[in-house]
Structure 1
Amino acid sequence: MELNKRIDVIDYLRGFALLGIILVNIGPLLSAKTPAPHSLDASYWRFLYLLVEGRFYTIFTFLFGVGFYIFITRANAKGKNGYVLFLRRIAVLFLFGLIHVQFHPGEALTVYAACGLILLPFYKINKAVNLIIGIGLLVIIGISAIKILMVIPVMLLGIAAGQFGLFEVVSKRIKQVAVFTVIMFGLSAIGLLYQYQYALVLSEGVLFGREASRFINIGITIGPIVSAFYTGLLVLLLQIQIIQKLLSPLKSYGRMALTNYLLQTMFIYLAGYTFNLFGRVSYIETLYICLAIYVIQMTFSVIWLRFFQYGPLEWIWRAITYMKLPPMRRRTKAPGA
């Protein structure tokens, strides 16, 4: 593992995860209206809970676990105390989260910081053991459909993926990735068809009750499987050069994941207050707002990273973690170099 080399596929996946996270977050933040029966809104609500809710958050959590392992490993390889730096890193993340939670009660940063602290001892545990424990916990908690607790096994699986060097060798293991993706597609299709049985009650306008609760709980249970399919599919698509270029803004979006995650909340509230949307916006209208935010954030990310090495909040995060100011401007090569 090269000490400072970014793993592009992780940035693409982070950006991809952010696209889905805002779709779910915006409804509660703007107090979107309850969908009317047999409406486009009701169809979109079902789409969110079938294909988006819990799927992208899981990918983001998994990647945090991967980053957890890579960060400590690279710090240790440079002769630094990776554990101390990591503890400082998650302390800063927790502070960001404490501020963010005042505006977004369901925010993830404080949860990630707490789980990172809990899982720190697993850094030294054998990778196969971490994999087995992670899968075992995921099955048990998934069956129980306790969403908040899913973070721990998913993050642990991310640590195991980092230990196996999964993303460093992924381009050399495309056949295995393809087989994995096909298997996850099959399992996802079965799970989603089963979940969809309970989605039909939403056509009657019932968003709460036993059937609706069952619909949501099944979604939590199968969430990691669908997330694994999405991840495998994107990795396969990124092997096609033209698709990789078309999706390049997604890589910039993911490189500035912390900044963009927090800015999503800011833009949602900005839209809400500017256009008086609280309690008045429909679910399908939240999609249009998200599309506008995508364009703004991706454009900003691409332009910013042409001139700077880190996103604004990533730079602050790094500065406090290492207790020194890292160079912000992107280095340019001298003529003839």
Structure 2
Amino acid sequence: MIPTERNKRIEILDYLRGFALLGIILVNILPLLSVMSPSPHSSDAVYQRFLYLFVEGRFYPIFSFLFGVGFYLFISRANAKGENGYLLFLRRILALFVFGFVHLLFHPGEALTVYASCGLMILPFYKVKKEVNLVLGGILLIVLAIFAAKVFMALPLILLGLAAGQYQVFEDISQKVRKVTIFTVIMFTLSIAGLCCQYQYVPNLPFVAGKTNSIPTMRFLQIGIMAGPFISAFYAGILILLLQFSVIQKVLSPLKSYGRMALSNYVSQTALILLAGKLFNWFGHIPYQQTLYVCLAIYAIQLIFSKVWLSFFYFGPLEWIWRMITYRRVPPMW
């Protein structure tokens, strides 16, 4: 059973998950270590602006969208094997919620509980026509983006991922290069427009997100949320196009392993950040730019670990537990 399932993996999704994780940690580390507010006109202030222009709100949409794609693939494949895909998925998101609840104790901004809750709400849409899911998800995303309701945007993103699964967007992606190129060019154009608009409100002084009363700064952050899905789509499109070259696939192969162990790596990112903060007394004492170096070190550790682990085992550690709970049997590890 395992070799067949492994052959069915859509590897492009693993690359995208790994890519999304690389960006997510750059933002998550800030509240986890209570990063110091940058001094005006410093390199830390420049890095803060960079994060809020090109990283914040640019990677979690990819992760949310991919959860929707995985949602569709999981139920479809379970049903195709004669199993009750709905029951298995309910167990799956229940287990995910438990993982998320434990994670929430250490990381208040964690996303697993959000995904589990959204998965439950989206479940009835599995049988809805793909055109309806696409239109509904698109309209809901636009409305929430206009109001900069970031906390609720995961729901339409997951619904759009479900629609993408229904449309089989990622199957035989190499045969759809022209369509992906057109899509990426459109998203690039919209991204440039969004970034230019956001840049008009770049704060002169450093800020603390969620605690600022400055109208220009609030506008800067709101436009960033509105432009986020377009920039995310552009990032994903560029990566997909690059991966059409075998040499790029080989160079980025650690990213594929990183994405295959997305759950383990997402949770262990928090563990490594908190451990480093404890060991080096960084809580409230680390500047913005130094967090980049911490993230680079965590990248190295996790990318190497993921590559080595998957050379011996089929699943990541938490993925194996997740699978065991879902199917109520112990899956083979190798």
TM-score by length of 2: 0.96
In structure 1, the partner of 2:274 is: 269
| Residue pair 2:37, 2:207 contacting (<8 A) in 1 also | no
Aligned counterpart, 1:295: 300
1:58 and 2:85 matched: no
Matched, 1:68 2:71: yes
Q: How far has the Cα of 1:3 moved from its partner?
A: 5.6
Aligned to 2:333: 328
Aligned-partner Cα distance in 1 for 2:205–2:282 = 26
Q: Distance in 1 between matches of 2:207 and 2:142?
A: 29
Could you say what the CA RMSD is over the residues aligned between the two structures, in angstroms?
A: 0.9
User: Matches of residues 177-216 of structure 1 in structure 2 within 5 Å?
Assistant: 177-199=180-202, 201=203, 203-207=204-208, 208=212, 209-216=214-221
1:169, CA displacement in angstroms? 2.6
- Unaligned residue ranges in structure 2 (runs of 5+): none
Contact between 1:3 and 1:77, CA under 8 Å: does it hold in 2? no
Look up the equivalent residue of 2:317 and give its one-letter code.
Answer: P
Q: Matched residues in 1 for 2:288 and 2:207: separation? A: 16
1:115 paired residue number = 118
1:242 pairs with 2:211: no
Structure 1: gaps (5+ residues): 330-337
- In 2, the alpha carbon distance for the partners of 1:134 and 1:184 equals 17
The code of the aligned residue for 1:204 comes to L
Distance, in Å, in 2 between the alignment partners of 1:228 and 1:9 is: 14
Aligned to 1:143: 146
Structure 2 distance, partners of 1:240, 1:3, is 25
Letter in 1 for 2:80: A
2:14 to 11, 29, 44: 11
Deviation string for 1:271-309 (max 9, x for gaps)? 100100000000100000000000000000000000000
Map of 2:100 onto structure 1: 97
Deviations 1:78-128 (A, max 9, x none): 000000000000000000000000000000000000000000000000001
- Aligned residue identity for 2:314: Q
Alpha-carbon distance in structure 2 between the residues aligned to 1:205 and 1:68: 40
User: 1:227 and 1:169 mapped to 2: Cα distance?
Assistant: 22
Q: TM-score, normalised by structure 1?
A: 0.95
Query: C-alpha separation between the residues in 1 aligned to 2:231 and 2:333?
Result: 38
CA distance in 1, matches of 2:61, 2:205: 30
SS of equivalent residue, structure 1 residue 216 = helix
Cα distance in 1 between the residues matched to 2:97 and 2:5: 26
Count, aligned residues: 326
Task: Give the counterpart of 2:83 among 69, 80, 87.
Answer: 80
Report what 1:166 is aligned to. 169
Alpha-carbon separation, structure 2, partners of 1:237 and 1:317: 32
Deviation track 1:58-84 (CA, whole Å, cap 9, x = no partner) reads 000000000000000000000000000
Deviation at 1:205, TM superposition (A): 3.5
The percentage of aligned residue pairs carrying the same residue is 63
Which residue of structure 2 aligns with residue 43 of structure 1? 46
Q: What SS does the aligned partner of 1:38 have?
A: coil
